[in-house]
A = this chain, B = another copy of it.
Amino acid sequence: MKLYDYGTAPNPRRVRIVLAEKGLDYELVQVDLSQGHHKTPEFLAKNPSGKVPVLELDDGRCLSESIAICRYLEAICPEPNLFGSDAYELGQIEMRNRQMEAELMSQVGISWIHGPIVAKKGVYKNIPEAKEVSDSNVKKYYERLDKEFSSAEYVAGPRFTIADITLLCSIDFAATMVDLKPDDTLLNLWRWHALVSSRDSIEM
């Protein structure tokens, strides 16, 4: 398998962590988004949407969208289980992962798109008002998470799941690339962050 990746992006990182959790071998191929290498005909043949990550199987078939790739990996290598076992747990972990995406990761994404690094490139229309709203949403959500972690060890229950991976990649990207590091006073959130970051599968 080959994983088409871009070093600092939060979505390919989710896939790399799942690959490491499952101990799967693969070849990492860097696609330089800053040079537009995701818009070449060769890359668009692998993913017509022109985004990383893409997983290319040994038979040449390709999958894109991080969670779609991770779900494929869970199906070919079920252990350790990251998406749930029985019907309720499958739903509940999907729910928590979706909440981390819809309520935090997407807001971090808006702050990134309308922030200074992207604005310089001129690819997206820069709307500073949109960033003000999403910055505020992110900070409020960190506070909510901190309250939740006062009585919960992980995002989706008593064990590490894909929902923890999504939250970790969202926070680390927000902290390093968008100037939205959670406040030092959010002790429960940072306790969770240290717990999850200590796993062997976690790299920046």
Query: Using a CB–CB distance below 8 Å, which chain A residues touch chain B?
Result: 49, 57, 61, 63-65, 67-69, 71-72, 75-76, 86-88, 90-92, 94-95, 98-99, 102-103, 106, 124-125, 127, 129-130, 133
Contact = CB atoms under 8 A, between A and B. Distances in A.
Contacts of A106: 106
Contact of A71 (B49, B68, B76, B90): B90
A95 B127 contact: no
B98 A72 contact: no
27 contacts: A57-B88, A63-B88, A63-B92, A63-B95, A64-B95, A65-B95, A67-B98, A68-B91, A68-B92, A68-B94, A68-B95, A68-B98, A69-B91, A69-B95, A71-B90, A71-B91, A72-B87, A72-B88, A75-B90, A75-B91, A76-B87, A124-B133, A127-B129, A127-B130, A127-B133, A129-B129, A130-B130
A67 to B, nearest CB: 6
A65 B99 contact: yes
In the assembly, how many copies of this chain are there? 2
